[in-house]
């Protein structure tokens, strides 16, 4: 597969961690970005952990340039950015959400992936290597739900952002590929948070609980493999990969 480099957000747990491990097992080099610590660098020589809070959007450009400065870009055959990190809360009616709740959510789940993408494309535009960006989205970006206004809005924004950037890149001499990946419903900490909410506060908590109890959730490992398969596929005109349930 050649000399591949991945920059992945949210590698301390869930899909991000599973994806990082999968790439590392294949011999790829991974730079993982997460607010929390990680023990992956204790196991894999090719893993570098960057502890960073994506809420700090003003320093994301420095974050990406700092990572890329560590990479001998001239010898890289393929480099990818996987915008996986996101948050689910606030899960409550919008009139009960504080301004700080909304701001933090949109910074992490929407603004950060946009800035990461912008910086990644700009600093790698001179590379002859294949460049690909995958933004992890959700069916919630297409289907509204009560008490999930922030989450649905950020995912809808990710979908539209990806399509806009894809259109921009088609006119470039050295275009970067960019797609959205919808993993379906996955057994992650976000799911546990949703089903653990009081039904009076979050009306859909029972739905999340039923999905969990009926065994409909996909494992983070299976989703990570599907995501990596999407990365390895050649570019197509379709920038939104359907949910795994629809494949």
- Count other Cβ atoms within 10 Å, centred on residue 75: 10
Spatial separation of the C-alpha atoms in residues 191 and 54, rounded to whole Å:
21
Alpha-carbon dihedral of residues 167, 171, 175, 177, nearest 10 degrees?
A: 20
Query: Of the listed 31, 123, 143, 151, which one is catalytic?
Result: 151
Distance separating alpha carbons of residues 215 and 219, to the nearest angstrom = 10
Identify whether 151 is a catalytic site residue. yes
Which structure tokens are listed for 190?
Answer: 């976000």
Closest CA to 9 of 107, 139, 75, 103: 107
Compute and round to an integer the Cα radius of gyration of the chain. Answer: 18
Q: Are 162 and 178 in contact (CB under 8 A)?
A: yes
Burial degree of 241 (CB within 10 A; 0-12, 13-18, 19+): buried
Characterize the bridge pairing of strands 177-181 and 29-34.
unpaired
Q: Is the dihedral of CA 167, 170, 172, 178 positive or negative?
A: positive
Hey, which residues are catalytic here? 151
């Amino acid at each position: 597969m050649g000399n591949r480099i991945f920059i992945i957000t949210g590698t301390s747990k869930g899909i991000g961690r599973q994806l990082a491990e999968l790439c590392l097992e294949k011999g790829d080099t991974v730079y993982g970005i997460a607010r929390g610590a990680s023990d992956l660098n204790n196991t894999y020589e090719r893993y570098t952990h960057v502890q960073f809070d994506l809420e700090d959007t003003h320093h994301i450009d420095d974050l990406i340039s700092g990572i890329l400065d560590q990479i001998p870009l001239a010898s890289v055959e393929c480099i990818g950015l996987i915008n996986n990190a996101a948050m689910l809360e606030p899960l409550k009616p919008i009139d009960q959400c504080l301004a700080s709740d909304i701001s933090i959510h949109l910074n992490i789940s929407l603004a950060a992936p946009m800035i990461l993408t912008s910086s990644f494309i700009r600093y790698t535009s001179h590379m002859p290597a294949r460049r690909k960006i995958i933004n992890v989205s959700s069916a919630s970006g297409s289907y509204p739900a009560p008490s999930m206004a922030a989450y649905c809005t950020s995912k809808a924004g990710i979908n539209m952002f990806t399509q806009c950037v894809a259109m921009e890149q088609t006119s470039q001499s050295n275009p970067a590929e960019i797609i959205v990946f919808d993993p379906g419903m996955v057994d992650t900490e976000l799911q546990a948070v949703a089903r653990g909410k009081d039904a009076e506060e979050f009306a859909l908590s029972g739905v999340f609980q039923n999905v969990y109890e009926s065994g409909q959730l996909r494992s983070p490992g299976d989703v990570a493999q599907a995501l990596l398969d999407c990365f390895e596929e050649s570019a197509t005109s379709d920038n939104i990969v359907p949910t795994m349930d629809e494949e």
